[in-house]
Amino acid sequence: MKKNFYHLTMALTTAAALAACQPQKSAISFEHQGDTLTIVHITNPTKYLILPIQESCNEGKVKLVTGSPADMAMDVRLAVDSVEYYVPFALPQGAKEATLTIGRVAADAICWDSIQLADTFNTANTDYYRPVYHHTPLYGWMNDANGLVYKDGEYHLYFQYNPYGSKWGNMHWGHSVSKDLIHWDHLDPAIARDTLGHIFSGSTVIDKNNSAGYGKDAMIAFYTSASDEHGQIQCMAYSTDNGRTYTKYEKNPILTPFDGLKDFRDPKVFWYEPAQKWYMIVSADKNMRFYSSTDLKNWEYLSQFGEGYGVQPNQFECPDFIQLPVDGDKNKMKWVMIVNINPGCPFGGSATEYFVGDFDGKEFHCDTDKSVTKWLDFGKDHYATVCFSNLGERVVAVPWMSNWQYANVTPIRQYRGANALPRELSLYTKDGEIYMAANAVKETEGLRKGTAYVNDFVMTDEHLVSPLATGQEGACELEMDITPNKAQTVGFQLMNDKGEKTDIYLDLKAGRLVMDRTQSGLVAFGEKSEPHAKETDDHRKTESVNYVNDFALGTWAPLSLCEGKTYHLNVFVDKCSVEIFVDGGRIAMTNLVFPTIPYNALRFYTQGGEAEVKNLKVHQLGL
């Protein structure tokens, strides 16, 4: 890691030196007023002020002063005694001078010797665990996917983003676009934190009928502004340039809780054809509330659903509400409410559950008893799952790949947070019950850069060791059919030369698919740090010192969801994750892993009898 940070520092220094050679020389000076307030004076501003970060430090307050009531201080963990990495802070272009105030940072902190001016910021990868083919921000922190929408051949992925550090804070909507759900182009943040608060999660729609009055096919974003002063309130912004920039509605907020509820966030807006209206579902503590509107600005309360449903205790967040055919039959449609909860995961922390039922235009009626819990994914690192709008009949969801128990302290610096692979959702019946499958989208086949075929084989109690012919930096997809026959256990281990391994196996006696990451690489990490400001939620705090009990575990899923005696597995391996899809997504399981060198071998095994492995393929993956 030190070597990587050294290269980043050198790149920034070079950029600053080049900037200093321009015809109008830039200059910076610091005016310390007392011990914790500094005025920064810049003449002929460059594009960026490069800020040194130390994650263990308290947050300083960095504000660009323009004289506008909209000036907003950002929370930045400026380095006090050592520099871990850098982030850029944009400066006004074309101005002769710029002034910033930096509060809550001591006058003798090391940051004052390390702050630099530059016209470029090097975003080349400096982090060992950056995934090969999963979406991540170029730098900074990312959590929930927001505003997923498809328009004019582009998939828009907005996301909770902190551009000023790799820990939670300064919530903006980051923005990436793709034409195939696999290759992503990074754009500037679309919606920035403002005086109403952090920009929390939400959704985006295409206003095909010009309901809001900003033009036919305008992109309308809905999000929660969150702060101590204003609470959690729902706001709106619109874009007429294909989602690149947004203008916030001048009369925000558009919706506030009628009962003063503290936890009221994450609006999902959709068009409900039978009523010819827009509908909004909002998380309201341990409920979801429904509203309707004709103009996207004025909203009428309809009903609420959820208290006491699913696993307990829980906090409802990041809802979605979709309609799907059962077993592909368009004459049998069901509504599905996706609910992201924290806590509640059977393995600790955050997870995604769902409820299947009917919707009459006012109320949602669940098919199952309150005590029934259905999981969309059986791993520990699958959260804030929401679906794309404007995709027609296809329903594609994107999760955040982490868990609030340790998200802020994973062994990463340049960025934190990745999205799991996009999943296509569908409904199927099993033993008279309706479940939702989540399978990797077909577009993932475009990641395949080569395939190594291994002969079919039959195992007894012996172990079989095979080389793992991976693609770039250990990235691969395993595809196989496993028939346990008389075996009680049949599985395989992803291994490396250090003996680190992720163990994946079918436990036929218990009726479970298991992924065990207790020996997968780094499994204990983290440091004690102060909680975030009061305006954040409890689950975003970092309080535990040792994460071995939270991270080093096995997750499991019931094999009863699958069809029969043979199980088809697709296993996606990246630099810091393993995702399993069984029988077209009837079981999905997503877990982070941190091997210190890439996995390079497969070790198959069986216990208690014979098992068959057929059609084994190792696809080398890369972008």
Higher-scoring residue by pLDDT: 157, 9: 157
Confidence class of residue 586 from pLDDT cuts 50, 70 and 90?
Answer: very high
**How do residues 382-425 score in pLDDT, each as one tens digit?**
999 999 999 999 999 999 999 999 999 999 999 999 999 999 99
How far, in Å, are 61, 192, 195, 218 from residue 70 at the CA level?
Answer: 15, 11, 6, 25
Q: How many CB atoms lie within 10 A of CB 262?
A: 11
Q: Assess whether pLDDT exceeds 90 at residue 19.
A: no
Q: Assess whether pLDDT exceeds 80 at residue 10.
A: no
Tell me if 131 is assigned to some domain.
no
> Could you tell me if 304 and 331 lie in one domain?
yes
> Could you tell me if 454 and 352 lie in one domain?
no
CA distance 430 to 357: 16
Q: Assess whether pLDDT exceeds 70 at residue 13.
A: no
> Could you tell me if 246 and 323 lie in one domain?
yes
Confidence class of residue 228 from pLDDT cuts 50, 70 and 90?
Answer: very high
**How do residues 325-338 score in pLDDT, each as one tens digit?**
999 999 999 999 99
Q: Assess whether pLDDT exceeds 90 at residue 11.
A: no
Please give the pLDDT value at position 561.
Answer: 98
Lowest mean pLDDT among 18-27, 221-230, 582-591, 596-605: 18-27
Q: Above pLDDT 70, what percent of the chain?
A: 92
Confidence class of residue 464 from pLDDT cuts 50, 70 and 90?
Answer: confident
Please give the pLDDT value at position 393.
Answer: 93
Please give the pLDDT value at position 526.
Answer: 66
> Could you tell me if 50 and 150 lie in one domain?
no
Please give the pLDDT value at position 471.
Answer: 76
Average pLDDT over residues 213-230: 97
Q: Above pLDDT 90, what percent of the chain?
A: 87
Q: Assess whether pLDDT exceeds 60 at residue 32.
A: yes
CA distance 571 to 585: 11
Tell me if 313 is assigned to some domain.
yes
> Could you tell me if 155 and 24 lie in one domain?
no
Q: Assess whether pLDDT exceeds 90 at residue 452.
A: no
Rama region for 464: left / alpha / beta (φ>0; ψ in -120 to 50; rest): beta
Taking alpha carbons only, the member of 534, 417, 536 closest to residue 169 is 536
Burial-class residue 228 by CB neighbours within 10 Å (0-12, 13-18, 19+): exposed
Confidence class of residue 537 from pLDDT cuts 50, 70 and 90?
Answer: very low
Average pLDDT over residues 36-46: 97
* Strands, E assignment, 131-230: 140-151, 154-162, 172-178, 184-191, 198-207, 218-227
**How do residues 352-362 score in pLDDT, each as one tens digit?**
999 999 999 99
Q: Does residue 185 have an active-site annotation?
A: no
> Could you tell me if 189 and 69 lie in one domain?
no
Cβ-based neighbours of 341, under 8 Å, separated by 6 or more = 310, 311, 314, 315, 316, 317, 350, 351, 352, 353
Domain CATH for 574: 2.60.120.560
How far, in Å, are 460, 486, 490, 605, 607 from residue 610 at the CA level?
Answer: 4, 5, 9, 10, 8
Tell me if 248 is assigned to some domain.
yes
Average pLDDT over residues 42-53: 98
> Could you tell me if 148 and 289 lie in one domain?
yes
Q: Which two tokens stand for residue 218?
A: 């305008």
Tell me if 127 is assigned to some domain.
no
Q: 588, 439 in Cβ contact below 8 A?
A: yes
> Could you tell me if 256 and 152 lie in one domain?
yes
Number of domains in the chain: 3
Lowest mean pLDDT among 14-23, 209-218, 430-439: 14-23
**How do residues 339-350 score in pLDDT, each as one tens digit?**
999 999 999 999
Please give the pLDDT value at position 284.
Answer: 96
Largest CA distance in the chain: 79
> Could you tell me if 351 and 485 lie in one domain?
no
Q: Assess whether pLDDT exceeds 60 at residue 531.
A: no
Average pLDDT over residues 460-478: 84
Q: Residue 111 in 3-state DSSP?
A: helix
Please give the pLDDT value at position 104.
Answer: 97
Tell me if 146 is assigned to some domain.
yes
Q: Assess whether pLDDT exceeds 80 at residue 574.
A: yes
> Could you tell me if 281 and 149 lie in one domain?
yes
Confidence class of residue 549 from pLDDT cuts 50, 70 and 90?
Answer: low
Average pLDDT over residues 25-34: 94
* Annotated active-site residue in 127, 144, 320, 537: 144
Q: Assess whether pLDDT exceeds 70 at residue 450.
A: yes
Choose the final residue of a domain: 440, 472, 506: 440
> Could you tell me if 391 and 478 lie in one domain?
no
Please give the pLDDT value at position 466.
Answer: 79
**How do residues 94-113 score in pLDDT, each as one tens digit?**
999 999 999 999 999 999 99
Q: Assess whether pLDDT exceeds 60 at residue 191.
A: yes
Q: 319, 336 in Cβ contact below 8 A?
A: no
**Average per-residue pLDDT in the chain?**
92
Please give the pLDDT value at position 527.
Answer: 52
CA distance 424 to 469: 28
Please give the pLDDT value at position 437.
Answer: 98
Domain CATH for 252: 2.115.10.20
> Could you tell me if 294 and 310 lie in one domain?
yes
Q: Assess whether pLDDT exceeds 90 at residue 532.
A: no
Choose the final residue of a domain: 440, 475, 500: 440
Choose the final residue of a domain: 60, 85, 118: 118
Please give the pLDDT value at position 467.
Answer: 81
Q: Assess whether pLDDT exceeds 70 at residue 270.
A: yes
Average pLDDT over residues 445-472: 86
Tell me if 535 is assigned to some domain.
no
Q: Assess whether pLDDT exceeds 70 at residue 178.
A: yes
Instruction: Look up the domain containing 62 and give its range.
Output: 2-118
Tell me if 242 is assigned to some domain.
yes
